[in-house]
Amino acid sequence: MKFFSARFIIVAAAIATWESAMAQTTIPLVDIKAVDPTIVVELRYTGVNNCSGHALYPPRTTALVRPEVAPRLAAAQAFLRRYQYQLKIWDAYRPTSVQLRLWQLTHKTNYIADPGAGPGSMHSWGIAVDATLTDASNNAVNMPSDFDDFTPAAMLHYQGIDPAVRTHLHLLQRAMAGAGFLGQRTEWWHFTVADWQKYLSPEEVKRAAQAFETRWQAKL
């Protein structure tokens, strides 16, 4: 019972945080599933199976992106379905308040953008997603690492020797590059729209460009 109460409080706090974040955002957002219901969505921050060990989103949170981004994900999905694979979304829009919580819980300075420095995370602008592949029956397929695996295995360019993993990663990267996304050097699952500058103010673009040049942006 105690466990239930504690869990209830945590979920209630996540809902309150999310609702106040959604009330504050001025970014136009759409539900990825409303644009393409075939895209698989499993937001890892709705549960504890993520690098923070905490549920940061309320249960049944929808995967949101800017309206211009959703059709690109649909294009990547159409490409993948030709090969009997599907796109699975691990994270999409992430409110700044959640980014702050993630930063406080993990302090992974090389991986998690500090919301207090620079433009923060591209997730908080609705222009980045974390994505992987499933097979045609929604089963997970072998990829270089799990989500939020902050080890060398998560590098954009696969260093391992498993030909199936290499094929899967290249297919995902071809799908996302063809749909207009860039990769991130240290996280194979992270994709930002290639024209991200369009969605930030000039000042934010300047600060983001500095960060991109040093550790973020990578052509697929």
Judged by the rule CB under 5 A, the positions of this chain that interact with Zn ion are: 130, 190
Residue that has been written with the tokens 């994709």 in this structure = 191
For Zn ion, give the closer residue by CB, 10 or 106. 106
Residues 6+ apart with CB under 8 A from 108: 51, 150
**Helix H or strand E encompassing 103:** helix 96-106
For Zn ion, give the closer residue by CB, 85 or 125. 125
For Zn ion, give the closer residue by CB, 10 or 96. 96
At residue 43's C-alpha, the angle toward residues 104 and 166, to 5°, is 100
If one counts every other C-beta atom within 10 angstroms of the C-beta of residue 28, the result is 11
For Zn ion, give the closer residue by CB, 13 or 68. 68
Smallest gap from residue 126 Cβ to Zn ion (A): 12
**What is the token pair recorded at 48?**
């504890």
Give the integer Cα–Cα distance in Å for 193 and 181.
Answer: 4
If one counts every other C-beta atom within 10 angstroms of the C-beta of residue 25, the result is 15
For Zn ion, give the closer residue by CB, 77 or 124. 124
Distances (CA, A) of 1 to 4, 8, 185, 211: 5, 10, 45, 46
For Zn ion, give the closer residue by CB, 3 or 39. 39
Smallest gap from residue 183 Cβ to Zn ion (A): 10
Smallest gap from residue 216 Cβ to Zn ion (A): 10
Smallest gap from residue 40 Cβ to Zn ion (A): 17
Smallest gap from residue 111 Cβ to Zn ion (A): 9
Residue whose CB is nearest to Zn ion in the complex, by number: 190
Smallest gap from residue 91 Cβ to Zn ion (A): 6
Distances (CA, A) of 177 to 180, 186, 190: 5, 17, 12
**Phi then psi for 45, rounded to 5 degrees?**
-85, 0
For Zn ion, give the closer residue by CB, 14 or 129. 129
Smallest gap from residue 129 Cβ to Zn ion (A): 7
Determine contact, residues 162/173, Cβ cutoff 8 Å: no
